[in-house]
Amino acid sequence: MKQLYRSYDESTKIFKKFQENYPNNFKMESIGKTWEKRDINLITISKDIKSADSKPALFYTGTIHAREWVGHELGIEFATYILENLENDPTLQAYLEKTTIYMVPCANPDGYEYSKNHFSFWRKNRRVNVDGSYGVDLNRNFPIGYVKSTATTSNVYGGPEPFSEPETRALRDFVECHENITIALDYHSQGNVFFPAHDFRHEDTIDTTDMNTLCANMAEEIRKISGREYGIHQGKPPTKLISGSGREFYHSLGIISSVVEVGTRNISDYMDDMNENLREHIPALLAAVKEVPNYSKNNSVSRVNSFEITEIGSHHVNLKWDYEINKDVFFEIYRSRQDKNFCNNSNLIVRTSNLEFSDINLTSNKDYYYNIRVVNKKTFEKSPFYPQIKLRTDCDYDEFSRTYYANSKNTGYVAENLNDNSKHFGVNSLFVGIDENKGISYAIVTVDVKSLGEGALIKDASFNLYPINRVSTTIEKYGEWNTGIVNQETMGDITNYDDVENMEILQYVGRPTQSHQLTQGIWRAWNFSGMECKVLQEVADKYEKIVFRIEGPTELIIGRTKQMMQWDIGYGKFGYGLTYRPRLELTYTIKPTITELYPKAVYTVSKESVISDEITAGYDEQGRKIYSTFEFNLSSLPPYNSTMITKAYFELNSTKIYIKDDIRFHLEFVDENIEQNYEDITNREIIQNVGYDVSATELKNNQTQHFPFDSFSEITLNEKLKAKADISFVLKPTSSKKANKSKSVSWEVKNRSLSPKLIIEHIPKRRFPLEKVKNVKLTQENGKIKISWDNPDDSDFVGVKVIKNAYREPYSTHDGQKLYSGVDDYTFDDFGAKDINKYYAVFAYDEVPNYSEPVIIEYKGK
Ligand SMILES: [Zn+2]
C-alpha cells in the first residue's frame, strides 16, 4: 500500500492547485534547489497571505530523512485540512487570525524520491561525496554541536562542514529572515515520541517546561483520537546529545523547537496505520498553532519572575510567585500527577490574581507537578511557563515511604534462543517481547525489601520502569506488557530461559501496558490494587525480596520480525544511570500497638450531687440533665517524639437496665481543666464530639458502645500526648422531646472488662526530622562540580538526598534533578554545566523519611 504515499511531483502539483484555488490563503515558493536541481518547496498558509509574514508563525519541516515519509504526507494532509475547513471552522479562523503556518513538507526531495523509487531505506540527501559515495545526513549538517567526520558512507555523516548542503542552507536562510517564527516542528519517523531541543547540554533550559508542555498538549490530542500515547524526551543525561540537528539550530535562534517521531516504522502501511497517524496529528498540530502567538517576541505578557513552594504537608501545598502587579492579568495554575503532562482546561485548578495559592485535599506521599502562566485578560495572550515545580507530599501521620531499586545482579532478561542469558544480568537494558532471532524474551527484576521490617503493612505500591526505546516495537496495536510477582518456590534459575518461562506468577500487577502506550522519556507505572498489595506483603514477609517477571507478546504476526520493548536497568555502559533503575515505591504503615487506658476518675454530676465511681446519664426528676465525666492520663504511652497515635476510640458498657424513650447519648472530648461541679460541667469547653451519639434503643441491642475519634480529635489526642496531659470526656443526654423526667441509663464501672476504656492504637514513628547537614561546600574535582557536607551525628540518620535546580532553591526533595541519595558525605554533578547558575540542596533524612530543612548552596556559573 506504499503507493498511496504521494511523490514529490504530486505534492508540487497539489500545492500549485491550492495556490490557484485559495490565492488569499495559500502560497508556494521555492527556497532553494537541491543537488539534483529540484525546487525546495515552502508553502505558506494564512488568513491573508499578504500579511502572513507579520504574524507569529509555526515552522513545519518534514522528511529531512529520506525514508521518513510521514513528514511529506502529513504536510500535504495538514494543508488540505486547513484549506478545506477554514471557511466553516471558527476555531481554525481564530487561530489563523493570529498565526501563520510555514511548511517545508519535504526538506530532502532528492533523498525522498530516491527512497520512493530505488531504495526505501535511504536516509541522507543525494550529494556525491569526494570518494564517490552518496549523501549527507541533513539533520547532522547544522552547526550546533556539528561533528566533523570523514565517514562519508555513514548514515549520520554530517557533510564536510555545517551548511555545506543546499537543503540546509535553504532552511537556514528562510528561518533567519523570518523572525516571526516562534515554534518549529520537525517531523520524522519512528517512535511515537517528541524530542524537544536539548540545547546541547544536559540541563534544563528556561523553556524546557514550555517545550515539554507544548509536546504534551499535542500528545493529549493524539491520545484523544486514537488512545495512542506519545513520549517526551529531551535527551538528557547520559544519552547522546544529537549533534548538528535542525532542531537545535532553530532553538539557538530562540524558537521553541521539537522533533516529532511518528509511528512505529519508518514507512508505515498507509491503509492500516499511516491513515490514523495522519488523522491524529492534525489536531496535535492545531494545538501547536494555538500556542504560536504566546511565544512571539511581541507578546505583552512575560512569564512570572519566580515560582516557589512555601509549604508542603501530607494533604496540602502552598505555592507563591512573583510578578509586577498589574490589573490586566491573572495567573493560571495547572496541576498534574505525572511529569511532562499537558496543561489544558482539564487540569487547570485555579485562575487567580493573587501571588499565592494553597492547594488542598491532596493525597499523601504522592508526586505532584505544578505549572504557572500569566494571562492578559483583554488580549488573552498567555505568557511562557515558569520552570515546573515538582514535589512529593509528606507521608500521612501513620505512613512511611520507601523507594526500593532493582538489585543489579539479579535483574536482567532471558531470551529463548540465546545461550548466554546470564550475561544479560546487571547490565544495559531489559528486552521484553519477541524477536524473530532471539525468540521470546522475559525480564526479571529483583528488589530487596529486607529493610521493610516486621509489622510493616503495605497500603499502596507501584512498580516503575523507564522506557529507553520502543524502536523494535514495530507492530501497531499488538501485544501487551505485564508485570507479575513470581512465586519464589517455583522460581529455579532466573538466568535460565526455561525456568523463567515456567515460574509461577502469584499475581499480575495493575493494568497491562498496551503496545500503543509504549514510548520513551516518561516513566511507566504498574499500580497495585489493595488485593495486589496483600500478595506483595506476603511475599515481602516471607522472602524479604520481591521478584518480578515482565512479559510481552509471545507470538509474531506473519511477515513481521520483532515486537520488542527496551526498558532501562540503569546500570552498565548503555544504561541511563542510577536514577533510571527499575523501582518499587511503597507507602506503608506499621501494625499498631494497642494500649487500653482505664479512667483515673469517673463522676456522675447532677444538680443535686457529684458522685464518684458511678456513671449515670439522663434526666433527673425535674428534667435537668445528668452528666457523667471521665478523666484519663496518657503518661503510660511511649514518648511523644517517637510515637504516633493512629486510632483511638472510647468504649462504654451500659448496665442492663434500659429505657424506652427517645433519648440519645453523646460523648464529648472536653478541656481537661474542667471542675467536677454542675456549674462547670454545664459551661464546659467542648473540643469535639467523639463518634456519633447512641440512642436508648441501640443500647438495648448492644451493651458495648464504641465512640471512634475523628481526625481532629486524633490530632488533639496527639497534642495531649506531647504534654502527657490528663484528658477528660463528658457523656451527655440529648432528646428531641421537651420534657424528660427521671429517665437515665447507668453504665458499668466496677467490672474491669466492662469498665469504660480509652483504647489507643499507636505506632513507633519519629515525628521530627533530623538536624541539617553541616559545612556544605562546592569544589571542583576532575573537571566536575563536587558537593560535600558533614552528616548529622544521630543514630536515626539514614541518609542524605541532593537535589539540583537551576531556577529556584529546591524546597522539596523532588523539586529538581536528583543527584544523590545515600549515606556518603559528598557527590558529583556528573553532567552539570559549569557556565550556568544553579542551586544544590542537601536534605538529611531518617527512616520515615522525615527530611531536614535543606542546606542550599548556590553555584555561580563561569
Ligand atoms: Zn529522522
CA of 9 to the centre of ligand 1 (A): 22
CA of 721 to the centre of ligand 1 (A): 65
Q: Which residues pair with 549 in a beta bridge?
A: 444, 484
Q: Is the distance from CB of 41 to CB of 104 less than 8 angstroms?
A: yes
CA of 469 to the centre of ligand 1 (A): 15
CA of 86 to the centre of ligand 1 (A): 31
Q: Please tell me the predicted confidence (pLDDT) of residue 268.
A: 80
CA of 189 to the centre of ligand 1 (A): 6
Measured CA to CA, the distance from residue 142 to residue 411 in angstroms comes to 40
Helix axes 208-226, 275-291, angle to 10 degrees: 140
Q: Please tell me the predicted confidence (pLDDT) of residue 750.
A: 84
CA angle 269, 270, 271 (to 5 degrees): 100
Phi, psi of 44 (to 5 degrees): -120, 135
CA of 247 to the centre of ligand 1 (A): 11
Q: Is the distance from CB of 53 to CB of 180 less than 8 angstroms?
A: yes
Q: Which of 136, 129, 180 is nearest to 296 (CA)?
A: 180
CA of 78 to the centre of ligand 1 (A): 19
Q: Please tell me the predicted confidence (pLDDT) of residue 1.
A: 42
CA of 296 to the centre of ligand 1 (A): 28
Measured CA to CA, the distance from residue 65 to residue 136 in angstroms comes to 10
The band of 234, judged by pLDDT with boundaries at 50, 70 and 90, is: confident
Whether residue 791 has pLDDT greater than 60: yes
CA of 192 to the centre of ligand 1 (A): 12
CA of 194 to the centre of ligand 1 (A): 12
* pLDDT tens digit sequence for 126-162: 999 999 999 999 999 999 999 999 999 999 999 999 9
In DSSP notation, 578-632 reads GGGS-EEEEEEEEPPEEEEE--SEEEEE-SS-EEET-EEEEE-TTS-EEEEEEEE
CA of 522 to the centre of ligand 1 (A): 21
> Which CA distances in Å does 785 have to 97, 163, 813, 816?
49, 35, 20, 17
389, three cell numbers:
515545580
* pLDDT tens digit sequence for 89-122: 999 999 999 999 999 999 999 999 999 999 999 9
CA of 60 to the centre of ligand 1 (A): 14
Measured CA to CA, the distance from residue 656 to residue 653 in angstroms comes to 9
CA of 65 to the centre of ligand 1 (A): 5
CA torsion 446→449→455→460, rounded to 10°?
Answer: -70
Measured CA to CA, the distance from residue 543 to residue 529 in angstroms comes to 21
CA of 512 to the centre of ligand 1 (A): 30
CA of 137 to the centre of ligand 1 (A): 9
Q: Which of 287, 264, 288 is nearest to 276 (CA)?
A: 264
Q: Is the distance from CB of 215 to CB of 196 less than 8 angstroms?
A: yes
Q: Which helix (H) or strand (E) holds 173?
A: helix 166-176
Q: Is the distance from CB of 510 to CB of 527 less than 8 angstroms?
A: yes
CA of 274 to the centre of ligand 1 (A): 16
CA of 267 to the centre of ligand 1 (A): 11
CA of 738 to the centre of ligand 1 (A): 84
Which residue, chain included where needed, has cell 490494587? 529
* pLDDT tens digit sequence for 651-688: 999 887 667 777 888 899 998 777 888 988 888 888 88
Q: Please tell me the predicted confidence (pLDDT) of residue 474.
A: 87
CA of 263 to the centre of ligand 1 (A): 12
788, three cell numbers:
560535600
CA of 110 to the centre of ligand 1 (A): 15
CA of 142 to the centre of ligand 1 (A): 14
Whether residue 766 has pLDDT greater than 50: yes
* pLDDT tens digit sequence for 565-583: 999 998 887 788 888 999 9
CA of 515 to the centre of ligand 1 (A): 21
Determine the average pLDDT of the residues in 185-205. Answer: 91
Q: Which helix (H) or strand (E) holds 119?
A: none
CA of 242 to the centre of ligand 1 (A): 11
Measured CA to CA, the distance from residue 369 to residue 365 in angstroms comes to 13
Q: Is the distance from CB of 851 to CB of 769 less than 8 angstroms?
A: yes
CA of 751 to the centre of ligand 1 (A): 83
Largest CA distance in the chain: 116
Q: Percentage of residues in the chain with pLDDT exceeding 90?
A: 80
CA of 443 to the centre of ligand 1 (A): 29
> Which CA distances in Å does 610 have to 169, 616, 629, 678, 730?
99, 11, 10, 8, 14
CA of 333 to the centre of ligand 1 (A): 35
CA of 284 to the centre of ligand 1 (A): 19
CA of 123 to the centre of ligand 1 (A): 8
CA of 71 to the centre of ligand 1 (A): 10
CA of 238 to the centre of ligand 1 (A): 21
CA of 138 to the centre of ligand 1 (A): 10
Q: Please tell me the predicted confidence (pLDDT) of residue 239.
A: 60
Measured CA to CA, the distance from residue 854 to residue 811 in angstroms comes to 7
CA of 536 to the centre of ligand 1 (A): 43
Measured CA to CA, the distance from residue 45 to residue 100 in angstroms comes to 6
Determine the average pLDDT of the residues in 787-815. Answer: 96
120, three cell numbers:
526505501
CA of 294 to the centre of ligand 1 (A): 28
pTM of the model: 0.93
CA of 261 to the centre of ligand 1 (A): 7
CA of 431 to the centre of ligand 1 (A): 23
Q: Is the distance from CB of 576 to CB of 708 less than 8 angstroms?
A: no
Q: Please tell me the predicted confidence (pLDDT) of residue 797.
A: 97
Residue 826 or residue 745, greater confidence: 826
Which residue, chain included where needed, has cell 516513566? 523
CA of 154 to the centre of ligand 1 (A): 14
Measured CA to CA, the distance from residue 772 to residue 129 in angstroms comes to 62
Q: Please tell me the predicted confidence (pLDDT) of residue 659.
A: 74
CA of 109 to the centre of ligand 1 (A): 14
How far does Cα 744 stand from its chain's mean position? Answer: 58
- When mean pLDDT is compared across 423-432, 446-455, 731-740, the lowest value belongs to 731-740
Measured between alpha carbons, how far apart are the two ends of the chain, in Å?
56
CA of 186 to the centre of ligand 1 (A): 9
Measured CA to CA, the distance from residue 184 to residue 258 in angstroms comes to 6
CA of 193 to the centre of ligand 1 (A): 12
CA of 690 to the centre of ligand 1 (A): 66
Q: State the number of CA atoms in the 13 A half-sphere of 821 facing the CB.
A: 16
CA of 578 to the centre of ligand 1 (A): 29
CA of 234 to the centre of ligand 1 (A): 15
CA of 64 to the centre of ligand 1 (A): 7
Question: Hey, which bits of 676-824 come out as E strands?
Answer: 686-695, 704-708, 726-735, 743-747, 757-764, 774-781, 784-790, 799-805, 817-822
* pLDDT tens digit sequence for 337-351: 999 999 999 999 999
CA of 69 to the centre of ligand 1 (A): 10
Residue 24 or residue 275, greater confidence: 24
CA of 128 to the centre of ligand 1 (A): 21
Measured CA to CA, the distance from residue 525 to residue 522 in angstroms comes to 10
273, three cell numbers:
496505520
Whether residue 275 has pLDDT greater than 90: no
In DSSP notation, 355-414 reads SEEEE-SPPTT-EEEEEEEEEETTT--BPPPPPPEEEEPPPPTT-EEEEEEBPGGG-EEE
Rounded to the nearest integer, the mean pLDDT of the chain is: 93
Instruction: Give the length of the chain.
Output: 862
Whether residue 60 has pLDDT greater than 80: yes
Measured CA to CA, the distance from residue 492 to residue 499 in angstroms comes to 6
Measured CA to CA, the distance from residue 693 to residue 168 in angstroms comes to 80
Q: Please tell me the predicted confidence (pLDDT) of residue 284.
A: 98
CA of 148 to the centre of ligand 1 (A): 19
CA of 465 to the centre of ligand 1 (A): 26
Measured CA to CA, the distance from residue 291 to residue 183 in angstroms comes to 8
Whether residue 849 has pLDDT greater than 90: yes
* pLDDT tens digit sequence for 498-510: 999 999 999 999 9
Q: Please tell me the predicted confidence (pLDDT) of residue 238.
A: 54
Q: Is the peptide bond before 238 cis (omega within 30 degrees of 0)?
A: yes
CA of 477 to the centre of ligand 1 (A): 22
Fill in the DSSP letter of residue 88. Answer: T
CA of 155 to the centre of ligand 1 (A): 11
CA of 768 to the centre of ligand 1 (A): 53
Q: Please tell me the predicted confidence (pLDDT) of residue 237.
A: 52
Q: Please tell me the predicted confidence (pLDDT) of residue 3.
A: 59
CA of 63 to the centre of ligand 1 (A): 7
CA of 120 to the centre of ligand 1 (A): 14
CA of 708 to the centre of ligand 1 (A): 63
In DSSP notation, 667-701 reads EEEE-TT--SSHHHHHT--EEEEEEEEEEHHHHHH
Q: How many CB atoms lie within 10 A of CB 723?
A: 11
CA of 243 to the centre of ligand 1 (A): 13
